[in-house]
Amino acid sequence: MIRVGIIGSTGYAGAEIARLLTGHKEVEIKYLVSRSYAGQAYQDIFGNLFEIINKDCTDVSLKDMAGEVDVIFTATPQGYLQGELKADILDKCRIIDMSADYRIKDVETYEKWYGIKHNSPELLQEAVYGLTEINREAIKDTRLLANPGCFTTCSILTAYPLMKEHVIEKDSLVINALSGVSGAGRGAKVANLFCEVNETAKAYGVTTHRHTPEIEEQLSYAYGDSVTLQFTPHLVPMHRGILATETARLKGKYKYEDIKEIFDKYYGDEKFVRVLKKDVCPETRYTEGSNYVDVNFRIDDRTGNIILMGALDNLEKGAASQAVQNFNVMFGFSEEEGINMIPMIP
């Protein structure tokens, strides 16, 4: 059995990791860490886990936990892990981090976009970016995994095959993405109150959203050259989901079959990336509660552009279930173990 600790276990992502791992046949959840709820029974906080997880929350430190578990999931805000993590901790256990602390390789870029100093830049090069379908081999042996964000997972996987094959102009990509309210976390914020988000939709973080450099960096690796793109997120009144609509300039004349062949080349053997039938647009409801990403495209012969579309559940493939998928790769389990959920409707 793999002994697991979860720091930030009472946030949405942390709670999803705990829920998923209860169904994993090779896991023992040893620590559920929450400073705010220390001493409280986990099932009293999350009633869906009543008589399923019979443990109390604790406030044990990362350092003290490291010698007693095999892996720690850190579902914590930006800045926590890079302020606590040292190489000697990685000698004792592996880390799967849900924040952006180790996603961006360039420390100056991280500090610019997140507005905080990075306290362990020496570990940045060791960290592996946890897009399983792209970095599977590197994920197997890493001690430090940077689990991607929800917008980034959807945006990157939707555009990756065409960037990799140089089918689109690399600096022509414009991404508009919609997110459910749970993407903002479980903390109490006025902007996320029911009356503030219901029956309305809005753009936010326009030109400044922190996922922008993460998407650019990963698509630059795919293309083999620096990529600059436009990313605009929107908040919509639903619990879960990400929908990305991406427009790019094609480099030449392509037929549907040409592009479909490229997507099938990269995702044809992937369990959790579904390339939809022709002219079927992805919908968030068809991925809800699952680790699936649905992608598709449409060529606009009139403009010479291609419209790329992707949908996923921001708390699952955009966070928790992708973290468990990466956990499975790291420890040699079937990737489907604990996360082979069928999307739920309604």
The catalytic residue positions are 150
Task: Give 125: exposed, middle or buried? Use CB within 10 Å, 0-12, 13-18, 19+.
Answer: exposed
Residue with tokens 């708390």: 315
**Where do the DSSP E strands lie in the chain?**
2-7, 27-33, 71-74, 94-97, 128-129, 144-146, 174-179, 202-203, 230-235, 242-249, 273-275, 293-300, 305-312
Tell me which DSSP letter residue 271 carries.
S
98 touches 18 (CB < 8 A): no
User: Would you say 171 and 229 are in contact if contact means Cβ atoms under 8 Å apart?
Assistant: yes
Phi, psi of 145 (to 5 degrees): -110, 130
Spatial separation of the C-alpha atoms in residues 161 and 158, rounded to whole Å: 8
- Whole-angstrom Cα distance, residue 160 to residue 181? 26
Cα separation, 133 vs 227, in Å, equals: 20
Which residues, at least 6 apart from 30, have a Cβ–Cβ distance to it below 8 Å?
3, 4, 5, 68, 69
Question: Are 98 and 80 within 8 A, CB to CB?
Answer: no
SS3 for 69? Answer: coil
| CA distance to 11, 103, 155, 317, per residue, from 216 (Å) | 28, 12, 10, 20
Assign 136 to helix, strand or coil.
helix
